[in-house]
Amino acid sequence: MGYKVVLASIASRKALAIGSSLRTALGATVVGVSHRKHPFVYSRLFDEVFVLEGAPRGGLEWGLAVLEVAERVGAEVIVPVDFLDVVSLSRVKGRARATVAAPAYESVAAASNKASLGGLLGDGVVPASVVVPDSSGVDAVYSLRPPLVVKGLSDAASPEFFPDASSAARAAAARAPCLVQEYVPGRGRGYEVVAFEGEPLLEFAHERVVEYDPGGGASLGARGPVLDPELYRLGRFVVSRLRWTGPLMVELKWIPAEGRYFVIELNPKFWGSLDLPVSLGYHFPAVLVKAFLEGVEEARRFAGELRVGSGEFYWLLDGFRYMAKLPGTWLYMARRARRSDFSLLDPARVALQVVAAAKRLETEKSSWAHSLERDYAKLREFYRGLFRGGRPLVILDFDGVIARLHVDWKRVYRVLEERSYRRRWETVVGMFRRLWLEDVYKFEEASRTVEEFERVARAERILDEGVLRGLDFCVASMQPESVLRKFIGEGVVLGRDSGLGPLKSEMFRECVRRAGGRGPVVVFDDDLYNCVVAMRMGFYPVRVVDNPYRAVEALRLGILPVDTSLLGKFLHKLKSP
């Protein structure tokens, strides 16, 4: 088709995916504009490159400078890359011959306003939050349930996590104006779309596998498409509500145990994980350009004829920072990376990225160490009462804490679907919760079906039986009592068939009731969701982990992580606090 397209600014990893899509799907000539010198300036994906270091992004000056480049090269269309580019270019639409493929400025401002997200989408769709306009407005923070997230109102939110309202309030007073939000313990997912006036032209959904930091951030590993109709329903609701035109990502957290989504924020731009769908044939940038230059119907027809697949993508070069923090995480990514940002066809860009990443390692290492020191300080403050409150009640999960059950889950999923218990996008825990709330008889049938597999599963002990002697303990598990009693001869044992259903909060309450409510309560669980539930019930959560990434994920929230190899020693300390 021979279009000439200007991308600005290409000093962002998504620029590679945009350039690749436009060249592959449209045969376009791609002109890159960068606001600074960057390895991507040397990428073979750009036929021509301009570096404009003087104009500040986000304002009119940058937008006008990009328009000037478009006029000079005779481009038909300009595609903004990052949020600041979208802001700048949406403000100068119509001032030049080239079409700016961006939403209206007013739409961008509305979608990116974190403070008004709840009012826009309604209660129950976004996490409970409060806006702290200045240091005098922190009292509202105490109405929220920890752990809490304090973050800025701009695109660069820089979130911080706190295990109690007092420390979150102090941070909010220092950062005001800011947003304080209840943390959502779930998996990071995204709904991505190119739409026109509220109608999706092309959609995709992904799940994060590895993030910039274990506590959260952009994807360094992602999989997709996620085939959950509720995710698409919610994404389409947002697009319709905004009457959105252009690219949009709806960032969500999915709570598997509840089968529920929360919208965290909206990103009115191409998203950081764009490489994933483009590598699978979902050519969002090409659809966007077609919609703006050839019309919506042609773009829709083009999108419908795309040959697409499923899979994973890993940003090995961008993620090299993990070699200074958690080397095992980067090696995990490298082992799985059938698709990645490493390309022998783009040698100059790759070589410069490697050099830049290597130079950053010392800074990354120092920053990582300081962040862990801050987290441990929060941890010490939160847990200081644990060893002062008398003999604790210890509540333990079973699978992943006392033992590992090696259940053939693929076979379990297949059988549950064949018997119409499980929807194919659900986890087993999510299925149990839904059935418990909808039809207890079906819940019991499904529970017995899973129990058949749990009874014959190979079990690997984590804790020796003698470790629990001398402790006031209770087991609260998603396994049935028949399986639990094979490993635990004495003590209170609560499973999903104990009359409380698959609800850990109810099991925790029952454990405390039977213990008589004496002393502090310590909950050991390998699921971060259950640890957060325990924290919000006023207990001391301990996340049992078997890898450092999961440990830091808990640590960021102010939740104590304990490795399985050290769990016995830690429990021994609780016998005589």
- For the chain, give the percent of residues with pLDDT over 70: 99
- For the chain, give the percent of residues with pLDDT over 90: 88
75 lies in some domain: yes
pLDDT band at 25 (very low <50, low <70, confident <90, very high): very high
Beta bridge partners of 250: 191, 266
Greater confidence, 57 or 315? 315
304 lies in some domain: no
- Looking at 103, 136, 153, which one is the last position of a domain? 103
- The residues near 509 (Cβ < 8 Å, ≥ 6 apart) are 537
Range 275-296 average pLDDT:
98
- Using the predicted structure, report yes or no on whether residue 570 has a pLDDT greater than 60: yes
246: left (phi over 0), alpha (psi -120 to 50) or beta: left
Q: Beta strands of 141-241 (E only): which ranges?
A: 148-151, 160-162, 178-182, 187-196, 199-213, 216-224
Range 23-46 average pLDDT:
97
**Helix then strand then coil, % of the chain, to nearest 5:** 45, 25, 35
420: left (phi over 0), alpha (psi -120 to 50) or beta: left
98 lies in some domain: yes
Distance from chain centroid for Cα 389: 36
- Using the predicted structure, report yes or no on whether residue 156 has a pLDDT greater than 80: no
Give the integer Cα–Cα distance in Å for 519 and 149.
29
Give the integer Cα–Cα distance in Å for 276 and 272.
9
Distance from chain centroid for Cα 396: 27
- Residue 99 dihedral angles phi and psi, to the nearest 5°: -80, 135
Structure tokens belonging to residue 4: 């000439």
- Using the predicted structure, report yes or no on whether residue 499 has a pLDDT greater than 80: yes
Beta bridge partners of 206: 190
Check residue 160 and give its pLDDT: 93
pLDDT band at 577 (very low <50, low <70, confident <90, very high): low
Residues 391 and 503 in one domain: yes
Check residue 158 and give its pLDDT: 86
508 lies in some domain: yes
Residues 393 and 514 in one domain: yes
Order across the sheet with 160-162: list the strands: 129-132, 178-182, 148-151, 160-162
Which domain CATH number covers 85?
A: 3.40.50.20
Give the integer Cα–Cα distance in Å for 398 and 389.
25
Which tens digits make up the pLDDT trace of 101-115?
A: 999 999 999 999 888
pLDDT band at 355 (very low <50, low <70, confident <90, very high): very high
- Looking at 152, 183, 214, which one is the last position of a domain? 183
Structure tokens belonging to residue 462: 């984590």
- Using the predicted structure, report yes or no on whether residue 130 has a pLDDT greater than 60: yes
Residues 33 and 172 in one domain: no
User: What angle in degrees, to the nearest 10, is found between the helix axes of 83-90 and 60-73?
Assistant: 80
Residues 426 and 518 in one domain: no
When divided into structural domains, the chain yields a total of 4
Element (H, E) at 130: strand 129-132
The full DSSP string for 196-221 is ETTEEEEEEEEEEEEEEETTEEEEEE
Give the integer Cα–Cα distance in Å for 241 and 218.
25
Structure tokens belonging to residue 150: 């304090």
Residue 127 · residue 182 · CB < 8 Å: yes
Which domain CATH number covers 153?
A: 3.30.1490
Beta bridge partners of 562: 544
Check residue 157 and give its pLDDT: 76
Residue 145 · residue 128 · CB < 8 Å: yes
Residues 44 and 138 in one domain: no
- Using the predicted structure, report yes or no on whether residue 503 has a pLDDT greater than 80: yes
Distance from chain centroid for Cα 451: 32
Structural domain for 557, as ranges:
385-404+462-577
Check residue 115 and give its pLDDT: 86
- Using the predicted structure, report yes or no on whether residue 517 has a pLDDT greater than 80: no
- Looking at 103, 118, 137, which one is the last position of a domain? 103
Helices (H), 384-427: 409-418
Largest CA distance in the chain: 81
Give the integer Cα–Cα distance in Å for 34 and 53.
8
208 lies in some domain: no
- Using the predicted structure, report yes or no on whether residue 508 has a pLDDT greater than 80: yes
Answer whether the bond into residue 147 is a cis peptide, omega within 30°.
yes
Which tens digits make up the pLDDT trace of 356-371?
A: 999 999 999 999 999 9
368 lies in some domain: no
- Using the predicted structure, report yes or no on whether residue 205 has a pLDDT greater than 60: yes
Give the integer Cα–Cα distance in Å for 165 and 139.
10
Cα–Cα nearest to 12, from 218, 293, 199, 258: 218
Check residue 466 and give its pLDDT: 86
Residues 414 and 400 in one domain: no
Give the integer Cα–Cα distance in Å for 92 and 97.
11
203 lies in some domain: no
Distances (CA, A) of 117 to 83, 168, 199, 307, 411: 17, 21, 20, 35, 41
Residues 397 and 529 in one domain: yes
Residues 423 and 514 in one domain: no
Report how far apart the first and last C-alpha atoms of the chain are (Å, whole number): 74
Residue 196 · residue 245 · CB < 8 Å: yes
Which tens digits make up the pLDDT trace of 303-328?
A: 999 999 999 999 999 999 999 999 99
Residue 78 · residue 8 · CB < 8 Å: yes
Residues 419 and 468 in one domain: no
Residue 83 · residue 112 · CB < 8 Å: yes
Residues 479 and 430 in one domain: no
Distances (CA, A) of 246 to 86, 446, 552: 10, 44, 36
Residues in the chain: 577
- Using the predicted structure, report yes or no on whether residue 425 has a pLDDT greater than 80: yes
DSSP 3-state of 521: strand
Mean pLDDT computed over every residue of the chain? 94
446 lies in some domain: yes
- Using the predicted structure, report yes or no on whether residue 1 has a pLDDT greater than 70: no
Task: Indicate the residue type of 501.
Answer: G
pLDDT band at 35 (very low <50, low <70, confident <90, very high): very high
Residues 166 and 81 in one domain: no
pTM: 0.94
Residues 436 and 468 in one domain: no
